[in-house]
Amino acid sequence: MADLADIFQMLNQLKTDDQIPRRFKESIQEIKEILSAEEEDDDIKINTCLEIVEDFGDNYDLDSYARAKVWSLITKLEELNI
């Protein structure tokens, strides 16, 4: 099962990956800020992040590598939401 440290590690790897589109890297920063917020409930933060990632995966033409990374991140976030 994933924890927040795993998610942040994955986000940091994606942020430095040259094969990930710039638009998604901007979303990664937004996700990191949401997950770091202290004032929100964890379930709300995770669901907000899932919406961002799923929206990106559904609305942008990603190559298979980037799409696999997006779905891997979704899986990790969903594991936290259980």
Mean pLDDT by 10 residues, the chain (82 residues): 84 90 89 89 91 80 84 90 70
Domain with 25 in it: 4-80
Q: Residue 29's domain is classified under what CATH number?
A: 1.20.1440.50
How confident is the model over 37-46, as pLDDT tens digits? Answer: 888 788 899 9
Three-state secondary structure string covering the chain: CCCHHHHHHHHHHHHHCCCCCHHHHHHHHHHHHHHHCCCCCHHHHHHHHHHHHHHHHHHCCCCHHHHHHHHHHHHHHHHHCC
Total of domains in the chain: 1
Give the pTM.
Answer: 0.83
